[in-house]
Structure formats: C-alpha cells, structure tokens
Structure 1
Amino acid sequence: MRLKGMTQLNVKIVLLTKSRKYNNYCIAGVDFHTGKWIRLVSSQADIHCAVPGVDLTYENGLQAEIFDIIEVELAKAVPQHFQPENYEYDSRYYWKKTGVSSLEKVKILVNQNADSFIFHNSDKRLLGSFVSGLSASKNYSLKFIFVTRATLVVEKYEKLKYKLSFIYNGVSYTDFSITDDAFIKPYQSEGSFVLNNIGLVISLGEIFNVDQCHYKLVASVIR
C-alpha cells in the first residue's frame, strides 16, 4: 500500500529529466529552494536503481512530467563516485505535484558545478579511472546548459540512433547520445535537424564495460 502523507524527510524538486534507463526511468531535478541537483533512484538493483513508472505516478494516476514541482519522500542519500547526487526515495509514499516551473525559472534557480566544460573535457566520454580519481569538489554528474543552436542527427543501424552536437561556452561537443524518449518520438526517420534555443540536461552515465568509460548523455531536451 502506498501512503499519501509526507514526513520531515521530504524534498521539493523541479523535475528536469525523465529519460530512458533499463526500460524504466532516470529521474533528476533541482531542489526548489536551493537549486541543488538531486537524482532520484529506487532500491531495485535488478534495474540498476532506475525508477519504475508506477513510482513516478501521482495518486490521481497521472505521471510526473518535466517542470513539475514535486514533493518526494527520501529514504537516504546513496552517492556513487560517478553520481554523487543520488538519493533513494521511499516508494511507500506517493509523489505530490505542487506546481509547475519553466525554462526561464530553471535557468535562474539551478545551482551547479562551475566547471567551464561539460564534465571536465570536450569529449563525449570520460575514462573511469579519471572519474574515480576526482576530488569531491570536482565530482558531479548532472549539468544544465542552454544552447542557441544544436544539430540532431538520426541514423539507422539495427535501430534508429539519435546524436546531438552543439557549442557550449565556446567549445564544440559532438555525438552525445539522447535518452529523452519524449523528445525523440517525433523523429522516426533518418536525417539531420537544426534545433534552436533549447535547454539540455547532460548526465554522466554508468561505466561502459567495453572501454571502461562513462559517457555523457543528453537526458533531457527542453524547449
């Protein structure tokens, strides 16, 4: 049975990502009061602590969406060296929607690492050994940016692949994979598409065993 109430462990978050992770969801946002990043994770190790759809469903049956301001009951902080922002939520409690934010408000609210790059370099990935050696002050895995122009490339392999390239802070970034299913849904054929004036949430993923790297993923495209 899921509970309706909240206790002193609840937090109010502006939801900024609702992306694909092991056939469930990667959910993250910023604290409504401090702008600090919080990634919500479940206790389900079999799906790599992704968030099942049932858990991000409100009591009225609707699902949480980008820009929703939500109250969530936290169980504990569960930081990992590559994702220090992780908090396990208490799945016994419903999430509660208390309002809706906007891109302009988020641009003002978000409080993040001052790194001039996206995760320390201009590449699309970081070596696992580099990430594990970072000090606490330099270790982060979520970043919000605003770009005036980006290029989406859709290519067909076994299935459609979606890559985003853009310039941020005068640095060119190419071929970032997109895990935002709601954004890519309209793009069901190969091609190149120009996007103007968009917000992006970039997330650092789990280590990829083939090359022992963490890849930078576009977790949310916000228009």
Structure 2
Amino acid sequence: MKQDVVILTRSSKYRNFCVAGVDINTGEWVRLVSDNSVIHGALNKDDITYENGVSCKELDVVTVPINGTASEGHQSENKLINTKKRWEKLGTATIQDIIRIHPVENKRHRYLYGSMREYVGKDEIENIDYSLTFIEVFDLEICQKTNEFTGRPKTKASFIYNNVKYENIAVTDSRYYTMQNGKVSDRAYLVISLPDAPVNDRYYKFVAKIFAVNN
C-alpha cells in the first residue's frame, strides 16, 4: 500500500526524526512511524532518504510505502512505513497548497488539546483522540530556557491562538534551537503535536514546525 503525503514536520525525536504531514487526496493527518520501539517509532535518516540520496524536507510531496495503520490511543494518525522501500518525491507544495488541502483548525479546536496549559494531564488524555493540529497564531516569540532537571537548554514558544496567550510551549523544530530570545513573526502557521508517552504524568504539547509569515 502507498500513500501520497505532503510533509509538514521533520522534527527532532530521540535523536532521529518525527515525520508527519497530510494526505494530499483526503487532507487527513498522517504520522509516519517505524517499528523501532527503542526510539518510540521515530524514523532514522535512511528511512527518509530518497533513491538519489537526498533526505525529505518539509513541503515535499512524497509517495510513501505503508505497511498499515499503527494508531495507539490519542496518536490516531500513525501509519507504519515499509522501511525496505524508498520514498518517491512527487513535487513540492506551498503553504497555500496546504491550507487548501487541510485548512487551519482554529475553529475546530477552541483551545489547544482542551486547555491553555502547556501539557495534557494523564487523566485527560483519554478524552483526546488526535495528536496533531495545524493552526494559525499571532505574535510568535521564541526563548531559550534551561531545563531545571537536566540543566540543558530548551527552546520554548509563546503565541496567541484564538485570542488566548499560550506560553512555555516546547519547540522541536530544530531551526530554532539556537535562535536568540525574541519575536519570530507577527503571524505564523504551526504544527502542534502531542507525544506518545507522558513525562511525570504529563503529555507536553510541542511545536513540531513553524511556518513564519513574512510581514
């Protein structure tokens, strides 16, 4: 089985990649996962490399060999890839193409995963049946913070979504890991995701991809 997908995220996950996008025919979310439980289904570099040796990137339109669904709990979008076959690049999309295929979900979801907090509680996750959302935000800012437990720097975002200010949202879009504190854009499109497993009984929301709008 194959699926034609426009890639929206190629974010960091267990030193590998979390890759997700939308089906160009149905507009439905697809998270592409492996059967490697050690890295929680992340894809390695070889998994996302085309026959010509080039790795996929965001906004690539690709045909992906699929072995079947791998939905688990709130991560209902998961599809298990066939790691023995290469992906085929069909072309490149624009952000306007994405919006036509899969409109922003601001009206569909009043709050991010049901609240204004930076996480979903373990007792709340059973009420959520999705883990990816594509939204429009305003006043997007980035800051670098030190993790109080590990001492390592962490990239965080703040923004306004549906007229509500969100703060301290983790960022896994690696392009922003070294950005100095400050404003990214007055307006942006974000892919927000939830992890498969909790940390201290919390499923932390994170920004998997930032598409900043030039003003």
TM-score by length of 1: 0.87
How far did residue 112 of structure 1 move?
7.6
- Quick one: which of 160, 164, 168 aligns to 1:171? 164
- Aligned-residue RMSD, C-alpha: 1.7
The one-letter code of the counterpart of 1:115 is H
User: Aligned equivalents of 2:197 and 2:121: distance in 1?
Assistant: 9
Q: Give, in whole Å, the separation in 1 of the partners of 2:94 and 2:169.
A: 24
Q: In the alignment, is residue 180 of structure 1 matched against residue 169 of structure 2?
A: no
| Alignment-derived partner of residue 200 in structure 1 | 190
Does structure 1 residue 78 correspond to structure 2 residue 44?
A: no
Which residue does the alignment assign to 2:18?
A: 26
> In the aligned structure 2, how far is the partner of 1:147 from the partner of 1:111?
14
Partner amino acid, structure 1, of 2:62 = I
State whether residues 138 and 161 of structure 2, in contact with CA within 8 Å, keep that contact through their aligned partners in structure 1: no
Q: Is the 8 A contact 2:189 2:210 kept in 1?
A: yes
- Point out where structure 1 has 5 or more consecutive residues left out of the alignment: 1-8
Which of 136, 140, 144 pairs up with 1:146?
136
Task: Give me the whole-angstrom Cα distance separating, in 2, the residues matched to 1:156 and 1:169.
Answer: 29
**How far does the alpha carbon of each residue in 1:147-204 deviate from its partner, in whole angstroms, 9 at most, with x for none?**
23211112345332211011111122111100111x21552x5x33342322110001
Counterpart CA distance in 2 for 1:166 and 1:74 is 35
- In structure 2, what is the Cα distance between the partners aligned to 1:108 and 1:122? 27
| Match among 62, 79, 96 for residue 54 of structure 2 | 62
- The answer (yes or no) to whether the contact 1:147–1:198 under 8 Å persists in 2 is yes
Structure 2 residue matching 1:208: 3-state secondary structure: coil
3-state SS of paired residue (1:129): coil
Q: Answer yes or no: is 1:215 the counterpart of 2:196.
A: no
Instruction: State the Cα distance separating 1:100 from its structure 2 match.
Output: 0.5
TM-score (norm 2): 0.90
Is residue 36 from structure 1 mapped to residue 50 from structure 2 by the alignment? Answer: no
CA shift, 1:109, in A, is: 1.2
Q: Give, in whole Å, the separation in 1 of the partners of 2:164 and 2:138.
A: 13
Contact 1:81/1:139, CA 8 A, preserved across alignment: yes
Amino acid at match of 1:222: F
CA–CA distance in structure 2, aligned partners of residues 36 and 178 of structure 1:
23
Q: Which residue of 1 aligns with 2:116?
A: 122
Mapped contact 2:11–2:19 kept (Cα < 8 A) = yes
Change (3 A) 1:192 1:112: closer
* Structure 2: distance between partners of 1:165 and 1:185: 15
Q: Which moved more, 1:87-96 or 1:141-150?
A: 141-150
User: Distance between the aligned counterparts of 2:67 and 2:178, measured in 1?
Assistant: 37
2:38 maps to: 46
Aligned residues: 207
Change beyond 3 A, Cα 1:209–1:155: closer
Question: Kindly, what percent of the aligned residue pairs are identical?
Answer: 30
Match of 2:153 in 1: 160
| Ranges in structure 2 where 5+ consecutive residues have no aligned partner | none
